Structure 1
Amino acid sequence: FCKNLLRQADVPTADFQVFRDADDAMRYIKGRFPGEHDRCPVVVKADGLAAGKGVLVCRRRNEALEAIDRIARDMEFGEAGAQMIIEERLEGQEASVLAITDGRTIVPLPPAQDHKPAHDGDKGPNTGGMGAYCPTPIVDDALLAWIEEHVLIPTIHAMKRNRKPYRGVLYAGLMLTPQSGTKVLEYNCRFGDPECQPMLMRLQSDIMDLLEGTVDQALDQIDPPVWDPRPATCVVMASKGYPGDYSKGSPITGIEAADALPDVKVFHAGTKLVGDKIVNDGGRVLGVTALGDSISKAKLNAYTAVQKIRWAGAWCRKDISDKALAYLEKQATEH
C-alpha cells in the first residue's frame, strides 16, 4: 500500500517489486543477478507488521535468496510475510521526520535519527531501534522544508484524492543518499520508538493540544509547539539475545537512581511488575533518555544514567548519536 501510494503521489522512494510467491521472488533475484556470488544490493521486506524486524538488508545474491526463504517459506514473521517487497538498497544517512496532520494542516516535528542495527557501527541484524537523538543536524531547516513540500504534503493530498483522508501522526523514515537525494523508506501511522522519547523530552507545551487539534481538524487554530532548545538522546537497554530469542524475568535495579539524575527520564517498554520488583519482560526493555546543552552532553547524561541500571544480560549500543557528532565535526572542518 505504502509503496504504491508513494508512486502515485510522485514521492521519491526506492525502486521496488511486490511478490506473494517465493518462487517468483527467487526467479526475479536470479534473473537480475545471474552469478551465484554476484553483489546484490537489495532489501527484502515482509509487507506486514513485524515489530521493526521484518527488513532484511542484503549484499550478495545468496543473502537475498535466504531472506526470501526466511520470510515466505519459513514464515519467520508469520502472516506479515504473506506478501513481500524487494527494493533497491539505498546508501546514506537515515532520518525520521514525524508530523501531525488533521488532513488539512501539517505540523512537522523536529527531525530525529534512529539506530536500527543491533550493534555499534551499524553492524548486526535490524531491530525495532536501539536509540535515537533529536534534533538531528543532518536535516537542516532547508531540507525539512523540502521534505514537507515534496514528501508530506503530496502524501496527504494523495490520501485525500483516494477518499481516504488521513488524520494522525505521519512518520516518514527517510534515507538521505549522496547520489539521488532524499527518499522515503517507509511510513508509519504512529510515533517512532525510540524517536518519540527524545522528542517528548524536548516538548515544553502540552501534547494534548496537538492531539485534540488533530481530532477536531483545528490544527490551524492552535499555537505551534514549544521546544526546549537543548537536544536529547535516548539509549535503549535490551535483553540478552534480542533481536532473537531473549530471556525474561530478571529483576532490574537502579531505575530510581537513574530517574533521579537531572534532565533524565527512564521510559519503560519491556518491563513487568512482579510483586514489588520490576523485571525485564521484552526485547527492548528501557529507553534511558536525557537532555543536554549539546548532543555530546546529552549522550554523556544518557549513558551516565544507563550505568546506574542493572539486570542479568542487559546490553545497549555505546554509540548512540555518534553519527551526529561526526557530521558536526566534518561540517566544522569544511567551513
Structure 2
Amino acid sequence: MKTITPRNYAAKAANSLRAFVERHGAGNDLESDLPAIRSTIDMIEGATHFAVPDGGVTLENDLRGLEGHEARLPYPYITLEFRSQDYSAPEAKSRAVPSNLLLAYETTTDELAARYPYRTNPERFAKRPDGEAGIALLFLFGEDERMWMLNPYALFIPRTWESIAQRQQVGGWALKYLPFCVQPATVEYGLKDPSRGEPFFESLIEVLGPAGYALLTFCEALTCRNVSIGTLREAAPQQVNSRRERNGKLPLYEIKTLMIEVPTGEGIEVERKGTSGERSGPRAHLRRGHVRRLASGNIWINSMIVGAKNGGWIEKGYNVK
C-alpha cells in the first residue's frame, strides 16, 4: 500500500538555493540570475505546501475531468513535493532525479514578460493573447535532498482549458504549454560548456512536460466536489522551528494533501473486508478510478474501495473520510 510521506522538500530546496546565492556573489558569471533565484526562494517560503503521490500524478485520468474547467490553484502560491516513481530501478536513474518540487502561481503573460525579460521570452509570450491568464510552473529537483537545482526553464499553462486536441506535445506528454527562460545567464553560460551544450538544455525543457502534467492532474482533482484539502503534517510551533534553525536544522513546514470523500448511493462500489468479530476491516485503499462528469459537478469515482472507509491513508495518497 502506497502512502504519502511529508519530506519537507520546500524547506530543503529554499535552503539549497539560498546557499547558491551566497556562493555566487558580485562579479560572478551567474550574477544576473540571482534576483530570479531570490524571488523563487521568497515564493517557496510564502507558498502553501502539498505532498502528492510518488511520480507526481494525482489522478490517473488523462485530464478528462479538466475538460470544460479552468486550470486554477487553491492558493496564490503552492508547492507540490514528490519522489520520482520507482527511482530505485536502474533504468529510472537515467531519466529522473529522485526529489522533485513544483512551485506554481497564477499570473499572466504580461506579468511574466516583465518579471523575466530574457531576449527570447517576449517573442514567446507574443504568441499568446495579451495579458492571458494562467499558471507559471517552476521546477526544482535534487540529486540528493541537500543539493537542489532550479530548472532554468519554466512553463506557462493557460488557464482556459479548451480541448485535448489542442494540447501540444512536450516531453512525451499531451500538454498545452509555453516554456520560457527564468535563468538566462545559466543558459548562456551552459551553452558554452562543451560537456553540456544544447542537448542538455533541451532535456531541461523536456522534463517540464511531466511536471506540467503532474500539476494539471492536481488541478483536475480539485474540480471534483468530493475532493478536499486536508493536513498531512502540522507545522512545527514557531519556537520549535526557531530552535531548529539555531541548531542548524531546517524548519518543519505544514504539509497538506488531497482528501477524497466517498459517498454511497452514487454508483460507487464499496467492498468491506475483515475477519469475523472485527469492528472494521483493513485500511481503505483506492484502485483505479475515473472522474464522472455530472450536472452538479465533477466527482471522483473509484472502481473499487477495499476496506473500511475510516481506515486511514490509502493508495495514491488520498484520505477517505
TM-score between the two structures when normalised by the length of structure 2: 0.24
- For CA contacts below 8 A with separation 6 or more, give which structure has more relative contact order: 2
